[in-house]
Amino acid sequence: MKHPTILIIDDEEQLCWALERALRQEGYSVLTATGGRHGLALIQEKNPSLVVLDLKMPEMDGLEVLKRARKLQPKLPVIMLTAHGTMESAIEAMKLGAADFIAKPFDLTELKLVIKQNLKVSHLVNEVDFWRAELTNKYSNMIGNSPAIREVVQLIERVAASNATVLITGESGTGKEVAAVAIHQNSLRHKGPFVAINCAALPEQLLESELFGHEKGAFTGAAGRKLGRFELADQGTIFLDEIAEMPMAMQVKLLRVLQEKSFERVGGTETVHVDVRVIAATNRNLAQAIEKGLFREDLFYRLNVFQIKLPPLRERKEDIPLLADHFLSRLKHAYPAQSISPAAMEQLVKYHWPGNVRELQNVIERAAIICQGDEIKPEHLPKELITSPRNEDGLVVRFPDEGISLETVEKELIMQALEKSNGNQTRAAQLLGITRSALLYRAQKYGLNTERF
């Protein structure tokens, strides 16, 4: 598949070169322009996925480029870079439609993270738009005709018009983020920003700064004021993904924001007031987390004003053909495969789908890559999808006649979870249905080096 294309517009040639090299190492395709007019021409010709734009340039300043870029592509995410502009200029850029801004000199790791987050949000927004165009009901962003998905659609329709806090629950891969975007885009706040953050992806100190911002000198490396996600989401919606992974200390601070609609930036004393709708999501059982002392009960009640539970794919199997055809339709321009054979579709419907809709999407893409003809057949599907015996919980069960060590099985599952999550310990723990501390305890017990994954 085509890699996302990043366009860098900055009059400093050396900076363009350095960013191009760094972003190519991340797997992106990169274009550069040292002037606003050249950058606008590339936007029109190359249709980039995201733009990194300098605010101060001699030929045409960044704000003017931003205005014209938004006319060319209204949904193109633009990240502003500024070394000379005031905070007012950055806020003006956000009002004009910039997705985010970073002050020079900036940390390259931070820029990569901001790019990744904005590409993800852009993908979700585009996916919601695509689904909405296919369906007659403007509130329906979920493909399918099953009773389970129709109930979700009705709940989205009811809550979208309100300003209520929403808690979206469901297994990994069921579409919680897409549902959040759908609620925002069908709400009275649809003209405001949609800001997403993964609470499990950042350590506690960085998470606080990302949520609430920080003042210059608040900590080592804080070279200037940074607006937090809550502040950037003012008049719009903030999506707090994997809320159950938020540290307890941060849960207390979040509770105050939900109660008072205000906060102080890290290292600051000024109280910032915001008007933000909060949508949170989790794949964990929060009631159990409360019992174990891992999640605050008062925060749960603040978040659980309106709950939407997304059904796993195994409970809406009648939707699998629609979803499979939808995912394949998005790949027809890139691969020969144009349809799915009845035999292959039968295998797709029979499978248990522990990874839900996300796993189905990956399987269809893999099959389209392997297939050399115009029809996907059973032999193009993963072998485990066809041959793995599964019980009602979706577990592969192959008990050898000679017996097996339970510790060996547990060790192997931990290793596979770490490999599947690319060494992300929090994600590996989620895949196993245990806490991160429990994962680390078991890994140490079996002498596994979690750093090598």
CA angle 98, 273, 83 (to 5 degrees): 40
What crossing angle do the helices spanning 147-160 and 176-185 adopt, rounded to 10°? 40
413: CATH: 1.10.10.60
Does a structural domain hold residue 65? yes
pLDDT in tens, 151-160: 998 899 899 9
Does a structural domain hold residue 13? yes
| Helix and strand element counts for the chain (H, E) | 19, 14
273: CATH: 3.40.50.300
- 339 and 427 fall within a common domain: no
SS3 265: coil
- Residue ending a domain, among 251, 280, 309, is 309
Does a structural domain hold residue 401? no
Q: Which residue has tokens 């200029």?
A: 89
> Any residues with CB less than 8 A from the CB of 15 and at least 6 apart, and which?
none
User: Which one-letter amino acid corresponds to residue 350?
Assistant: K
> Cα(195)–Cα(181) distance, rounded to whole angstroms?
10
pLDDT in tens, 219-267: 777 777 888 899 999 999 999 999 999 999 899 999 999 999 999 888 8
Question: Which tokens hold the place of 416?
Answer: 């596979």
- In the chain, the number of structural domains is 4
Least confident of 23-37, 136-150, 174-188: 136-150
Question: Which tokens hold the place of 238?
Answer: 């903030």
Kind and range of the H or E run holding 52: strand 50-54
> Cα(370)–Cα(337) distance, rounded to whole angstroms?
9
- 139 and 205 fall within a common domain: yes
pLDDT in tens, 408-438: 788 888 888 887 777 788 888 888 888 777 7
User: Residue range 24-34: average pLDDT?
Assistant: 92
- 305 and 321 fall within a common domain: no
- 42 and 82 fall within a common domain: yes
- 63 and 151 fall within a common domain: no
- Residue ending a domain, among 309, 331, 357, is 309
pLDDT at 399 (0 to 100): 58
362: CATH: 1.10.8.60
The range of the structural domain enclosing residue 328 comes to 317-387
pLDDT at 203 over 90: no
Percent of the chain, pLDDT > 70? 90
- Residue ending a domain, among 309, 340, 364, is 309
> Cα(45)–Cα(49) distance, rounded to whole angstroms?
12
Does a structural domain hold residue 119? no
Does a structural domain hold residue 28? yes
Question: Which tokens hold the place of 181?
Answer: 């975007």
Q: What is the mean pLDDT of the chain?
A: 85
- 239 and 273 fall within a common domain: yes
CA angle 184, 248, 220 (to 5 degrees): 90
- Helix ranges, 135-265 (H): 147-160, 176-185, 204-212, 229-232, 248-260
Does a structural domain hold residue 156? yes
Does a structural domain hold residue 91? yes
| Cis ω before 105 (30° cut-off from 0) | yes
> Cα(101)–Cα(94) distance, rounded to whole angstroms?
8
> Cα(203)–Cα(247) distance, rounded to whole angstroms?
9
- 30 and 76 fall within a common domain: yes
- 360 and 254 fall within a common domain: no
pLDDT at 24 over 60: yes
- 269 and 152 fall within a common domain: yes
- 253 and 170 fall within a common domain: yes
pLDDT at 289 over 70: yes
Does a structural domain hold residue 169? yes
Indicate the pTM of the whole model.
Answer: 0.58
User: Residue range 305-311: average pLDDT?
Assistant: 94
> Cα(161)–Cα(299) distance, rounded to whole angstroms?
23
- 80 and 151 fall within a common domain: no
pLDDT at 393 (0 to 100): 47
SS3 347: helix
- 214 and 300 fall within a common domain: yes
